[in-house]
Amino acid sequence: MKARFSQQQLPVKIIQKDGTAYVYICQNETQGQETYPDMGEGQTTETYYEYDYNEIIGPADALPLEDIQAHPEQYLNYEYTENK
């Protein structure tokens, strides 16, 4: 999936809370500009940063966090599923 941000993102951001890991992967940055109409006659141009993006949420002890940090490009399509 693609995601667009108004600021540059880290390639991998991992937040751990109460035993759960929230992993945000942003790869292959492209930068662009988009122009929006203002009130009246003006226009505003904003810079954006677009990434190949994935979010992974799961138990911190069940996700390969070190490998995700080392090789985020391999996890762009990864989806955590609980083994029952």
| pTM for the whole structure | 0.88
The rounded mean pLDDT for the chain is 95
User: For 17, which DSSP code?
Assistant: E
Give yes or no for a contact between 26 and 3, defined as CB atoms under 8 angstroms apart.
Answer: yes
Distance (Å, whole) CA 33 – CA 26: 19
pLDDT tens digits for 45-73? 999 999 999 999 999 999 999 999 999 99
| Number of residues that make up the chain | 84
